Structure 1
Amino acid sequence: MDRQTRSLLAHADHPFAAPLEDSSVDRLLARAVVRGDARMLDLGCGEGAWLIRALQRHPDGKAVGVDISAEALERARHRAREAGVAERLALHRCEAASFEAPHPFDLVLSVGATHAFGGLLPTLEAARRQLAPGGTVLVGDAYWEREPSPWARETLGEYEDLAGTVEKVTAEGWTPVYAHISTRHELDDYEWNWTGSLSRWALDNRDHPDSAEALQAAARHRDEWLRGYRASFGFVCMALRRTTG
């Protein structure tokens, strides 16, 4: 089973592919989208959950989503049709880091997708190239809430603590105008959904050739989370505007 398919199955019950409740998503969008006719871009949009929610909140807004997964984009089209926003949502299958739009955007999102760019700062640089003057970037990334184990640091990455993450961002000419730190409930709920949704699919499809592999992947992820990084992992979403340049 490839990573994209596994991710879609794991997020079946949590289409916002990040540790955030619906109310947190709505609060972030309320701070990040200040124009009713905003043009919005999601770099690494997955199933389009952020953009669909934003378009429902702003009937005059338009949005573009970019992702490498054909199946995720097809699900985004289906969800957009169900939500009545399909005519205002354009979807492109390509690498998020290489996407170049014909016009700038009032809001550029990349939540939980910084790996596609090689880290937080390269993500912000890619977003800056697509951002209209006075626009906002909404970025979500991990940080270390406590000192991680050597295994967690080696496996998940060389993140900073929260203060170091904000300092790194501000040093590159960005100012946070709002942020949300995922709560323990949001973090745990996300992981239980990820492992539970994948496990349920495997148990409901025992005859599928990928069933055993999916069940093993869910069990391995659950063990790594509970024993490896639950105590130290944090997630922050920041609404950022340019301070300089």
Structure 2
Amino acid sequence: MDLPRIFGIREASHRIHNPITADKLAALGQALDLVPGTRVLDLASGSGEMLCTWARDHRITGTGVDISTVFTAKARARAAELAVADRVDFVHGDASGYVAHEPVDLAACVGATWIGPGVAGTVELLARSLRPGGLMLIGEPYWRQEPPTQDVIEGCHAGSRADFRTLPELLESFAGLGYDVVEMVLADQDSWDRYQAAQWFNLRRWLDHSPDDELAAEIRAELTTEPARYAQYTREYLGWGIFALMRR
């Protein structure tokens, strides 16, 4: 059970596996007014940056669950680096079926709602671990503007316009599920640039060291086409944000 190798190659240098910066992640922690001892569950926790930095800055405790052995190892190393390994732990496993043993104060799935599958299913999954009155975090893309053609939709790695919502539609969908949106932090184009462009450097460095690997042709093709695709489509048409929800 693991992610395909290409994910680890593409995001080898990333601490945050979403188009959000460390400053914005810190701003979210401040906005949520986290108190020491807040218990957090982070499903699809990646390299653990949210849990580790919030444990350092706010003294939260928590568990992260991720299917990637590479990212889980990086998360554990980051916890040791920040001297918070006694407050956070990371489980290698399938987050799509994970429910906390005891209710938590904050349950999160930041940028991986396919585990639900979809927003509604992920909200339902997180709710199974959340104490009454607790906070839920959902990270999700949205259309910055209406995609005018199917080419634009596919250029954003979507199959149809319905794969994403506009920001107002996304906020309304949370209300339709019975939740109030109580905070949000949105990526901007610079956030996207930092996330996507770092991938190109990772791919090139990997190619320089592994020209004969079985993935070399696939990665060469991606590196050749991805910068222009991103600039034409994702950068212009897709937004991304983390949304804090509370059950009504």
- In the superposition, the TM-score normalised over structure 1's length comes to 0.90
Could you tell me whether the CA contact under 8 Å between 1:106 and 1:135 is conserved in 2?
A: yes
Corresponding position of 1:40: 40
1:150/1:68 CA distance change after superposition, 3 Å: same
4+ residue runs of structure 1 moved beyond 4 angstroms?
Answer: none
1:190/1:242 CA distance change after superposition, 3 Å: same
1:199-214 equivalences under 5 Å are: 199-214=204-219
CA RMSD of aligned residues (A): 1.9
Gaps of 5+ in 1: none
1:172-187 equivalences under 5 Å are: 172-187=177-192
Q: Choose 154-163 or 15-24, whichever is displaced more.
A: 154-163
SS at the partner of 2:236?
coil
Q: CA deviation digits over 1:164-207, x for unaligned, max 9?
A: 00000111111111111211111122111122222222223334
Corresponding position of 1:31: 31
Q: Choose 117-126 or 164-173, whichever is displaced more.
A: 117-126
Among 221, 228, 231, which residue is 1:226 paired with?
Answer: 231
Deviation at 1:9, TM superposition (A): 2.4
**Sequence identity percentage:** 28
Could you tell me whether the CA contact under 8 Å between 1:32 and 1:107 is conserved in 2?
A: no
Q: Choose 41-50 or 225-234, whichever is displaced more.
A: 225-234
Gaps of 5+ in 2: none
**Aligned equivalents of 2:121 and 2:221: distance in 1?**
33
**1:77 partnered with 2:82:** no
Corresponding position of 2:14: 14
Q: Choose 10-19 or 106-115, whichever is displaced more.
A: 10-19
1:152/1:131 CA distance change after superposition, 3 Å: farther
**Aligned equivalents of 2:205 and 2:124: distance in 1?**
39
Q: CA deviation digits over 1:129-163, x for unaligned, max 9?
A: 11112211111100001112313435325111100
Deviation at 1:56, TM superposition (A): 0.7
Corresponding position of 1:133: 132
**Aligned equivalents of 2:104 and 2:223: distance in 1?**
37
**1:159 partnered with 2:161:** no
Among 198, 222, 244, which residue is 1:217 paired with?
Answer: 222
Could you tell me whether the CA contact under 8 Å between 1:43 and 1:66 is conserved in 2?
A: yes
